Amino acid sequence: MSRFRFFRPKELQELLDRKAKEGARARILDGGSNVLVYIKEGSIADATLVDVRFLKAIKGIAVRNGWIEIGAGQVIADVIESPVIRKQAPFLAAALQKFANPLVRNMATLAGNIADSSPIGDSIPPLIVLGAEVVVASTSGERTIPLEEFFTGPGANVLKEHEVILKVRFPVPREGSGGHVKLGLRKGTSCSVASVAVWLVQEGGSVQDIRIAFGGVAPTPRRLPKTEAAFKGQKLDWDAVARLAASAAQEVSPITDVRATAEYRRGVSAKILAKAVREAWGMEE
């Protein structure tokens, strides 16, 4: 028989104490867009639901010491509409517009999408190319984890049972521009088959720096360092982008699932990367 308890902390310390006491059994409930689904399907049957929707310590979007900080309790819609994000990181706001649908964007939090650790998490590739970090806390203190090092497998990450995510942060982008492509089985609310984000810095008509992150083409969201190296120093035109992006197919390691075959994902990886690079470079489609 399913057994659930309910706890609503008024202060951060109460949340940390509860996690220290119950560990993984204390399940964070904010928007509930994932947790409630897991309860309904039966994969969570015994838990303390820790409602943090009104916990001020994990709210807020602000710039501090050159970093944009997004509290773990901020829903996706808040991030998209934030004046801070729209001014300082419009690329992220545009990428998150492709996240699920308006109903889910008003429920799901950025930190929840990260904690769920799906290989196709919509928010993750854009945050990786922005250099995002996850700040986590426990009764022992805080630690900061680079987002690209956070994931260990499908639905798995380095977060310890007694830790909670406090905020996501990334440096204020000072130069460069981004591109993002999400490929689904249909337009609108579908989960992605694969997605890619690019952050590109131009200098003298050449690629000075580039960061590429894919979702849905490996057990975890991941950077493509060999493909990044191929692009660096190159002068780009339409043909050069297509040629250089082709190396992505050799660097990804997709699987076959209900959404697509591994062969299909490998085949489209170069195409969606080329499209994202052209967007970041400012080429017309």
The pLDDT of residue 233 is 98
- Please state, in angstroms and rounded to a whole number, the distance separating the CA atoms of residues 35 and 28: 8
* Domain at 17, CATH number: 3.30.43
The pLDDT of residue 1 is 38
- Please state, in angstroms and rounded to a whole number, the distance separating the CA atoms of residues 13 and 42: 30
Give, rounded to a whole angstrom, the gap between the first and last alpha carbons of the chain: 56
**One domain for residues 73 and 144:** yes
Last residue of a domain, one of 115, 150, 171: 171
- Please state, in angstroms and rounded to a whole number, the distance separating the CA atoms of residues 159 and 150: 8
The dihedral over CA atoms of 45, 156, 269, 284, expressed in degrees to the nearest 10, equals 90
Q: How many CA atoms lie within 13 A of 239 on its CB side?
A: 0
Contacts (Cβ under 8 Å, ≥6 apart) of 45: 2, 3, 39
**One domain for residues 115 and 144:** yes
- Please state, in angstroms and rounded to a whole number, the distance separating the CA atoms of residues 113 and 92: 14
Residues 176/200, Cβ–Cβ less than 8 Å: yes
**One domain for residues 62 and 167:** yes
Give 75's DSSP letter.
B
* Domain at 138, CATH number: 3.30.465.10
The pLDDT of residue 35 is 79
Q: Is 58 exposed, middle or buried (0-12, 13-18, 19+ CB in 10 A)?
A: buried
**One domain for residues 74 and 161:** yes
State the residue for tokens 């692009």: 231
Last residue of a domain, one of 150, 171, 192: 171
Structure tokens at 138: 């426990």
Structure tokens at 152: 């260990």
Q: Which residues pair with 181 in a beta bridge?
A: 196
- Please state, in angstroms and rounded to a whole number, the distance separating the CA atoms of residues 269 and 250: 10
Last residue of a domain, one of 171, 189, 221: 171
**Helix 238-245 × helix 262-281 angle, to 10°:** 140
**One domain for residues 164 and 192:** no
Count of domains observed in the chain:
3
* Domain at 222, CATH number: 3.30.390.50
pLDDT by residue for the chain (285 residues), tens only, comes to: 368 999 999 999 999 999 999 999 999 998 777 777 777 777 777 899 999 999 999 999 999 999 999 999 999 999 999 999 999 999 999 999 999 889 899 999 999 999 999 999 999 999 999 999 999 999 999 999 999 999 999 999 999 999 999 999 999 999 999 999 999 765 545 577 899 999 999 999 999 999 999 999 999 999 999 999 999 999 999 999 999 999 999 999 988 887 788 899 999 999 999 999 999 999 976
141: containing domain: 56-171
Residues 122/99, Cβ–Cβ less than 8 Å: yes
- The kind and range of the H/E element at 194 are strand 192-203
**One domain for residues 66 and 164:** yes
